[in-house]
Structure 1
């Protein structure tokens, strides 16, 4: 009989680093976690070490972990999602880096995130907002609203991901590492072509300067080392200047930084007179809600958004249930009843 190894822990290569945080980074990169996850985990682990008086985590136990997490919730008043992220960072530290599988870590309570109804501007408000965005950032904002892409997905688009013939955009490695396909808005065809012309100028400049190309996923970068220099893999929204990759130290062309659209959108919200709290992610919420408002099937919206569970997409239907006077308030009946006799007086 063959033994059941389904529960066996996968073999990990030995860590080469000597400092704890370097070992954390090494293991995260081996598991192909994103740079943002790496930065968040390192930050939480550093805070945990400082909170325990610079003690090594091997010398800490359930009391120190619970005290740290309680301090986040009670003293710093962090959100449930932030609280869970800190816990996941500590779980990663003990299980993946220190190779310590402690049962009590799994028993520590995880706060449940509350489902919030998303803020969704009306179509008129979105039109006013987008009218305040111009140039490259204006195109990016319209693309996010017109396709439902997350900001990171829009910025990560490569030239090869745009299919003008079939009017499709392929989203690679979206949230959860999933690929999907979304529509290419017909109203953006000319603007996207012009954007590629501007990007081509930067690509030509990089090739003339022998710049180290663009960032590539690890496996593809090793298998096709010249792909990073090719036009197909160049960014649709490249940064105006080259920068140093924080992981490799290589100077290369990155895509636009997220903060640029975030800052510009904040200015546009103020200029358009919208009083609702609007962020870049609000454009994605608006895309989904306005599609449903037009009668688009919820399963189609689910696929366009890349949601694994339709219940996540269902959250947008709550905005529509009472919108536009679909359900009358009983107060309105009282007002009509009281106004009726008066309207018949001579």
Structure 2
């Protein structure tokens, strides 16, 4: 409802109007009228029927629909609306008293048909193809696993039970559980918001993720050098030359670009006419849906410029492989470089590890966390911190850089700190005070 009104204003009124005929005689209209406040609080006047009782009944039915936020939730509600006079139907929709989405019998539409429309809306929002494919797969997994064919079949307990069974010892992990649940909840919310269907009442919460099935690690300085050197001096493999793979690894390590972002870069994405040179990631290709110009190291920019010199502006900068070929690409180059793909702790070095390396290197270089977040193009700092792989050795090296605060006495013994001297008095017989940070 809209702004609070006094009870007299809000009351539904049924009345007849009077008029004067051409002989100046007072007459009463044959139709009855309704006046009421709509869902926004605005006063409306609707011509009803010639029968007072039918008009009053219409007023009560309109009030019931408004109390239900304009939704025609049952078959009886839809039949009531269908039986109304067209002029009354049009007014109720025009004034948003009846939700237009409720006038179509979406309850009788199979979920698969709803899913097709839902996926089309994702495409219209320029969602990435792999996201749409993964979302469709997750929703179908839940629908098929629970046997949902119509909206009336949807049951929150069935969803929770089905997904929980999938998390057996040899099943999927917490992250995949959340992916499936989030996708299905998004779908049911869309059915409620856009199709006017009742709330599915799925109140299952996402799991707070405490496990990582995929464990990555960054490359250290020696491993980076060996990978780049071995790749550049390597052989042409698949669709990519050794030089192309070297450039791809180099730009990922220095800019933190994701594989999917590098894959769609074109020659015109690079700007060598500014200082410093930049590479642009367009909003539709970026995970954060924002356009960014990333700074290139001068030497790296010079190498890329030479590499791209024979291509047209609209050509893809790097002809990267798809799917498993992408995994095999870096895995093979690591093997030639003598770098283990998986370490003793079970952590892998895949392509995304290059982004982990970029962020970790920034932290180790002493770059403030908020600046690292900007360079990583993360929405929040917590996400950035997940990419930081600072070891105990790194922490110890940082602690050793702190100034030595130990104070020696004239006799060579160590002087106790102020906090250790609480209760003692100094030479002026004034108690020493403990300082607080």
TM-score, scaled relative to structure 2: 0.55
Please state which structure has a larger fraction of its residues in helix.
1
Q: Whole-Å Cα distance in 2 between the matches of residues 313 and 176 of structure 1?
A: 13
Q: Whole-Å Cα distance in 1 between the matches of residues 391 and 292 of structure 2?
A: 26
Q: How does 1:154-173 map to 2 (within 5 A)?
A: 154-165=262-273, 166=275, 167-173=277-283
- 1:180 paired residue among 286, 292, 296: 292
Cα shift at 1:108: 0.4
- C-alpha change, 1:292 and 1:308, in structure 2 (3 Å) is same
What is the Cα-based RMSD across aligned positions, in Å?
3.4
- 1:298 paired residue among 359, 363, 369: 369
Q: Whole-Å Cα distance in 2 between the matches of residues 114 and 159 of structure 1?
A: 41
Q: Tell me the equivalent position of 2:230.
A: 132
Is 1:235 aligned to 2:316, yes or no? yes
Q: Tell me the equivalent position of 1:221.
A: none
Ranges in structure 1 where 5+ consecutive residues have no aligned partner: 201-230, 240-255, 329-346
- Tell me if the contact between 1:265 and 1:280 (Cα under 8 Å) persists in the aligned partners: yes
SS for the counterpart of 2:126 is: coil
- C-alpha change, 1:115 and 1:287, in structure 2 (3 Å) is farther
- 2:220 paired residue among 105, 114, 122: 122
Q: How does 1:269-288 map to 2 (within 5 A)?
A: 269-275=334-340, 276=343, 277-288=348-359
Task: With a CA cutoff of 8 Å and minimum separation of 6, indicate the structure with the bigger relative contact order.
Answer: 1
Q: Which has the larger radius of gyration?
A: 2
Report Cα offsets for 1:31-54 as digits up to 9, x if no partner.
Answer: 332211110111122222321346
Is 1:111 aligned to 2:207, yes or no? yes
TM-score, scaled relative to structure 1: 0.68
Is 1:146 aligned to 2:254, yes or no? yes
- Tell me if the contact between 2:182 and 2:206 (Cα under 8 Å) persists in the aligned partners: no
Q: Tell me the equivalent position of 1:67.
A: 161
Q: Whole-Å Cα distance in 2 between the matches of residues 64 and 170 of structure 1?
A: 46
Report Cα offsets for 1:215-258 as digits up to 9, x if no partner.
Answer: xxxxxxxxxxxxxxxx4x5432246xxxxxxxxxxxxxxxx535
Q: Tell me the equivalent position of 2:189.
A: 95
Ranges in structure 2 where 5+ consecutive residues have no aligned partner: 4-39, 42-68, 72-98, 232-241, 400-437
- Tell me if the contact between 1:27 and 1:97 (Cα under 8 Å) persists in the aligned partners: no
Cα shift at 1:324: 7.5
- C-alpha change, 1:76 and 1:94, in structure 2 (3 Å) is farther
SS for the counterpart of 1:326 is: helix
Q: Whole-Å Cα distance in 1 between the matches of residues 330 and 370 of structure 2?
A: 30
SS for the counterpart of 1:145 is: helix
Q: Tell me the equivalent position of 2:30.
A: none
Cα shift at 1:282: 0.7
- C-alpha change, 1:300 and 1:71, in structure 2 (3 Å) is same
Q: Whole-Å Cα distance in 2 between the matches of residues 47 and 123 of structure 1?
A: 43
- C-alpha change, 1:101 and 1:54, in structure 2 (3 Å) is closer
Q: Whole-Å Cα distance in 1 between the matches of residues 201 and 154 of structure 2?
A: 12
Q: Whole-Å Cα distance in 2 between the matches of residues 184 and 150 of structure 1?
A: 15
SS for the counterpart of 1:170 is: strand
- 1:46 paired residue among 115, 140, 146: 140
- C-alpha change, 1:11 and 1:286, in structure 2 (3 Å) is farther
Q: Whole-Å Cα distance in 1 between the matches of residues 370 and 181 of structure 2?
A: 33
Q: Whole-Å Cα distance in 1 between the matches of residues 191 and 167 of structure 2?
A: 25
Report Cα offsets for 1:56-98 as digits up to 9, x if no partner.
Answer: 3541212221122112223653222211110122112222247
- C-alpha change, 1:24 and 1:113, in structure 2 (3 Å) is same
- C-alpha change, 1:75 and 1:59, in structure 2 (3 Å) is farther
Q: Whole-Å Cα distance in 1 between the matches of residues 211 and 369 of structure 2?
A: 19
Q: How does 1:22-33 map to 2 (within 5 A)?
A: 22-33=116-127
